[in-house]
Amino acid sequence: MGAIDSLKAMLGAEPRRTIGVTQDAVAIHEAKRQVKGAQRAKEIKALHSGNKSHKWRNIRWTTLIVINLLFVVSFRLDIQLVEGALTASRVVGFHFADLNSSLQVMLAYKHILINLVIGTVTVLLLWLLFGGRSFCSWTCPYHLLAELAEMLHLWLAERKLVLNYPLHRGTRTVLYVIFVLLALVSGYTVYESISPTGILSRALIYGPGLALVWVGGLLVYEVFFIRRMWCRYICPIGLTYGFVGAISPVRVQYELTNCLHEGDCRKVCLVPHVLECTKKSYAEDVKVAIGPDCTRCGACVDACPTGSLKFDIKGLNKLL
């Protein structure tokens, strides 16, 4: 998909197959069509005889836990290196403000604070560098809990004890607009009062409160009814950082050549629509950058048995 189509898919549109396919990609697609089904099945089976990697998941979980513990330790020991919470903080004197939270505050209070602007620009540049929705998978505490809930959901689903009832992906876009309008009209940051990201961050730092009941209810609902409901279909934070990720240099890149199109990457992906290019005959080029809705979690990189998905920094290979 092109850049515009990728953004449309992020907002909820169905992914479209690109019409303009390069000659190199056409040649590889044609060569793969000549491979007989029995031979392809044998190759896929051979690939799955090995152990699945969890390299990037382990690195990411460690990073996420350490980042959140920095807030906790700094507050508990009163060393003031990291102050505040994920929604708004000050790190060694530098202001940081979550992009979505800043938008909600400015709309609600119709006033722009200089520290808020500084914090927003700092965070914008940070996630512009590291890849937009990387915030979701590498920093957000709810993401970690939702992953664990997803594991339980999949375990129950495998035993046919629960079913998944997915929502339309455009639901997130509609709710984004609703939250913006509520802040503008009510003068109150409505989303921030129900955001599990902010609730969990504050609970970890300052102690638990009744709001954790709401977070627990979300997780239970995701286990029994809708797999990864909040992150996939509701959270406006992911959509905000998705726009930032559209021009980020750090991305996951797909290489067509060795892919057997067995679909393991899409099974583990939080946003499988970004991996449409991994379907047989879908890739428009030999190398394809995964779209802006990608959280850069590395789950697909871990799952790919042929190494066809890898982390990449745009332009770095040319410099080297």
173 and 265 share one domain: no
pLDDT at 221: 98
20 and 79 share one domain: no
269 and 223 share one domain: no
263 and 149 share one domain: no
DSSP string, 199-249: HHHHHHHH---THHHHHHHHHHHHHHTSTTHIIIII-HHHHHHHHHHTT-S
138 and 230 share one domain: yes
46 and 65 share one domain: no
pLDDT tens across 69-89, in order? 999 999 999 888 888 999 889
104 and 208 share one domain: yes
Quote the CA–CA distance of 228 and 247 in Å, as a whole number.
Answer: 26
Quote the CA–CA distance of 173 and 165 in Å, as a whole number.
Answer: 19
231 and 257 share one domain: no
The mean pLDDT value for 34-52 works out to 68
Predicted model pTM: 0.91
3-class SS of residue 153? helix
Domain final residue pick, 243, 275, 294 = 243
Per the prediction, the chain carries an average pLDDT of: 90
Burial 193-217 (b: 16+ CB within 10 A, else e): eebbbbbbbbbbbeeeeebeeebee
100 and 194 share one domain: yes
Domain final residue pick, 243, 275, 307 = 243
Where in the sequence is the domain holding 185, given as residue range(s)? 56-243
Residue count (the chain): 320
Quote the CA–CA distance of 19 and 317 in Å, as a whole number.
Answer: 27
254 and 163 share one domain: no
End-to-end CA distance of the chain: 27
Domain final residue pick, 196, 223, 243 = 243
Residue 94 exposed, middle or buried by CB count within 10 Å (0-12, 13-18, 19+)? exposed
| Chain centre distance of CA 166 | 17
294 and 158 share one domain: no
pLDDT at 320: 38
Tokens of 61: 């979980």
The mean pLDDT value for 15-37 works out to 82
| 47 pLDDT higher than 70 | no
| 142 pLDDT higher than 70 | yes
Amino acid at position 116, single letter: L
111 and 213 share one domain: yes
Burial 228-245 (b: 16+ CB within 10 A, else e): bbbbbbbbbbbbbbbbbb
Pairing state between β 309-313 and 82-84: unpaired
Structurally, the chain folds into a number of domains equal to 2
Q: Is 256 left (phi over 0), alpha (psi -120 to 50) or beta?
A: alpha
